[in-house]
A = this chain, B = another copy of it.
Amino acid sequence: MALSRERVLHAAVALADVIGIEALSMRKLAQELGVVPMALYKHVANRDELVDGMVDTVVARIDAPEHGTDWKPAVRQRVLSARRTMLRHPWVSRAIETRQAPTPAVLGYLDSVIGMFRAGGFSADLTHHVMHAMGSRVLGFTQELFTAQEGPADPAAAAAAARELAAAFPYVAEMALAAAHEDASIVGSGCDDQFEFEFALEVLLDGFERLHERGWTSLSPRGSRPAR
């Protein structure tokens, strides 16, 4: 089958799903497609442009927005479906963070979310700040500061490591313990990522709702914070 930009991008997405975005090289992708590395350059300008295309391919798969609902459930639904897509392709969040210019599909997605706030009666001003506050969460991901560390398999060694952690960072240890209690498993990562994501999302949406109800506006002079 002949090569095409489509085929290159889809193969790249599939390969990145398996080996990750950093490990994906033009050479490996070419091999996957049974073609010489330089052949790819007839369809993508260079590696950066390839990654842009991969991002767009994935973002285009996010479920379409629902119409005719309130802004809050509408935004929630859209963000959570973005999240579902991102979870299927864990490399995308990193790729988006690394880009400097948003790709067209990302821009289109953002446009639709902005439109939801506007339709809900948010001022352009408030919407602007709200979008910044959502940050990457609007696209369904947060950068994980705490990627679940695989502890040592040996239980004795694990216990020793836990004791050491508790001594050096008591609060971190306590929090880890609280998380472990909360879900029944004694070891395990102890963090339900989906729960944490939705928790933060609701805190933000509730906060936005309150500001909107109060008719919040960014006053001059600059530097005024919300609701103080």
Contact = CB atoms under 8 A, between A and B. Distances in A.
A108 B203 contact: no
Nearest to A207: B203
Interface stretch (A10-18, A26-34, A84-92, A167-175): A167-175
A37 interface: no
Contact of A178 (B124, B174, B182, B204): B124
Nearest to A148: B100
Interface string A39-83: 000000000000000000000000000000000000000000000
A200 interface: yes
Given A129-B196, A183-B222, A202-B228, A145 B138 contact: yes
Interface string A110-132: 11101100100001110111011
Contacts of A107: 168-169, 172
Nearest to A201: B225
A228 B127 CA distance: 22
A41 to B, nearest CB: 22
Nearest to A169: B111
B177 A124 contact: yes
A104 B169 CA distance: 9
B207 A226 contact: no
Nearest to A176: B128
Interface string A87-109: 00000001011101110101110
A23 interface: no
Contacts of A145: 96, 102, 106, 110, 135-136, 138-139
A206 B171 CA distance: 22
Interface in A135-192: 135-139, 142-143, 145-147, 149, 168-172, 174-175, 177-179, 182-183, 191-192
A182 B218 contact: yes
Instruction: Please name the 7 residue pairs, one residue from A and one from B, whose CB atoms are nearest each other, closest first.
Output: A133-B200, A124-B178, A114-B171, A203-B207, A132-B196, A111-B169, A135-B142
